[in-house]
Structure 1
Amino acid sequence: MNQETREHFYRRRRQSVTGAREFTRAALADWGIKGDRADDIALCVTELATNALLHGVPPGRGFQLFLRYGAEGEAVLRVEVHDSGDGCPRVVCPDGESGRGLLLVAALSDAWGVGERDPGKVVWCQWELGAEPPVTTSGRPMPTSAST
């Protein structure tokens, strides 16, 4: 499987979160990724874009969204949000004032993390889509021999 990358730059404004989510949904549809998995990915993009705008993008700047499908020759989808702000995102307690979005990202993705860039950082999450069970036309997973 060849890796395919989609990317888009967003300015520091609230409409960018909606734009990032719609851009992601269009790419997922093109790649045939749908259902609950697509909803989880779109929600994580929404959270990462919101975090970039609130905490990572200095005035007058923006963030870059990368969607990479087929990474390392596998059915892996990787989402990356690059911003030029300092600081390191972290998960906080559910009753904290912020950081709950990263709890969602951690719960919905197979892996996530933060990397360095100059200037700023990359916050990423990814899903191994090859492990997803086949879906029937009703949208329900097909039973496997272990579940019948």
Structure 2
Amino acid sequence: MTVELNTMPREAVVDVCPLPHSPGAVSAVRRRARAVLAGWEVSPQIVDDSLLVVTELVTNAVVHALPPAWLRLSWNGSGGTGTLRVEVSDAGPARRAGRPRADVDPDEHGRGECIVRALATRCGLFVHPGGITRWADLVAM
């Protein structure tokens, strides 16, 4: 039996990117995410919000978590409409809970989670044996 590719339902396309733990990692990963979203023709309606979510989740992993870490984008849609899932996984907290970092300015940190919740349709985290995955879904209609 032969099936035409264009008659098959569209399945999610996925891009996975390792996150280097370096100062330039966030901007480099954001540029890559922008290119991936453009290639997938994700609706401009959610691209800017998606890039901000990517920035917040990647920054959290690079600043506060142990390596290795990676970004996983998945797009299930066509014609610009659909759902984009942003996932950032890391190996867990770099310091024990309740122990403040001396070099962290509380006025400059701690808002990322609120930003992600405000922009995403759904979001959450999954704790697994290898660490933590934070995820957010953005829907374009």
Question: Which structure 2 residue ranges, 5 or more long, are not aligned?
Answer: 1-9, 98-105
- Aligned-partner SS, 2:129: coil
Question: Is structure 2 residue 124 aligned with structure 1 residue 81?
Answer: no
Residue in 2 that maps onto 1:113: 124
Q: In 2, Cα distance between the equivalents of 1:76 and 1:34?
A: 10
C-alpha deviation, 1:83, in angstroms: 0.1
Structure 1 alignment gaps of length 5 or more:
89-95, 132-148
Distance 1:70 1:81 in 2: 18
Match of 2:139 in 1: 128
What SS is found at the alignment partner of 2:14? Answer: strand
Is 1:101 paired with 2:112?
yes
| Cross-structure match for 2:4 | none
TM-score (norm: length of structure 2): 0.75
Percent sequence identity is 31
Cα contact 2:46–2:139 (8 A) shared by 1: no
TM-score with structure 1 setting the length? 0.72
Higher relative contact order at CA 8 Å, sep ≥6: structure 1 or structure 2?
Answer: 2
Query: Using the alignment, how far apart are the partners of 2:65 and 2:48 within structure 1?
Result: 24
Separation in structure 2 between the aligned mates of residue 49 and residue 3 of structure 1, nearest angstrom:
22
Name the structure with the higher strand share. Answer: 2
- In structure 2, the residue matched to 1:30 is 39
**CA deviations over 1:62-113 (Å, ceiling 9, x no partner):** 3110001118xx921100000001379xxxxxxx643201111111111110
Which shows bigger deviation, 61-70 or 32-41? 32-41
Question: Residue in 2 aligned with 1:143?
Answer: none
1:113-145 residue CA offsets vs partner (Å, 9 max, x unmatched): 01022221000001122x2xxxxxxxxxxxxxx
Structure 2 distance, partners of 1:32, 1:11, is: 26
Q: CA deviation at 1:35?
A: 3.0
State the secondary structure of the residue aligned to 1:70: strand
Could you say what the CA RMSD is over the residues aligned between the two structures, in angstroms? Answer: 2.1
Letter in 2 for 1:125: A
| 1:64 aligns to 2:73 (yes or no) | no
